[in-house]
Amino acid sequence: MSTSNTLAAYPASMIQQLRQVRQSVAELHAELPRYELVVWTAGNVSQRVANPEVPDGSADLFVIKPSGVSYEQLTAESMVVCTLDGQLLEGSRAPSSDTAAHAYVYRQLPRVGGVVHTHSTYATAWAARGEEIPCVLTMMADEFGGSIPVGPFAVIGDDSIGRGIVETLGASRSPAVLMRNHGPFTIGTDARAAVKAAVMCEEVARTVHIARQLGDPLAIAPEAIDSLYDRYQNVYGQK
């Protein structure tokens, strides 16, 4: 796809990065059906692309899935590029219906580089009940730093969902929020990290649901959660 005149006004290094991010975001979308987090055309992945000439982040862009396109048809070329106001900058298709929510998160949380939304079955079931997922698993303490919170009910199409995400996660270490009657949204330093959080969110939602069928799950002490979270975030894995 050729570069539009509007996009041509951005730094050459940023345009090159956009090409790479479009490829990466297209490939990461394949992880959602692979882990059974979406059906049909639901769900979306996005990633921020920073403008090196504007350090405050106000001129950043993001790449997101087009609306209503099946996962089998998604390619790097079909991804669309939007401004942080949610306006389409490049692409031949309309952006995802959740674009305004993604844009609001990027505007308000400069540390966020990736956003994912799914309708994964178990996490969405918790969202339908308006109930947080309690931290009763060490993997929850590791990844989420505590319980996975519930955000408010919000309509689709404007930035109401984004506002609910930011308000809820502002008081939480969790990279995931269950938007009431809707489903999970996850954030990360990039799109890959946000996809990982979405996969983990569904995994713990399923496991805790099953545990509750057997009895009352045992809570983990707050100090143990803090210790587990610190180790996983700062020591675990390859550095």
Asked if residue 67 is part of any domain, the answer here is yes
Asked if residue 2 is part of any domain, the answer here is no
**109-139, pLDDT tens digit by residue?**
999 999 999 999 999 999 999 999 999 999 9
Asked if residue 28 is part of any domain, the answer here is yes
Q: What is the pLDDT of residue 183?
A: 98
Q: What is the mean pLDDT of the chain?
A: 96
**42-73, pLDDT tens digit by residue?**
999 999 999 999 999 999 999 999 999 999 99
Residue span of the structural domain in which 159 resides: 7-234
**69-110, pLDDT tens digit by residue?**
999 999 999 999 999 999 999 999 999 999 999 999 999 999
> Do 182 and 153 form a contact (C-beta atoms < 8 A)?
yes
Asked if residue 1 is part of any domain, the answer here is no
Asked if residue 60 is part of any domain, the answer here is yes
Q: How many domains does the chain have?
A: 1
Quickly tell me which residue has 């590791």 as its tokens: 142
Task: Tell me the CATH number at 149.
Answer: 3.40.225.10
Asked if residue 159 is part of any domain, the answer here is yes
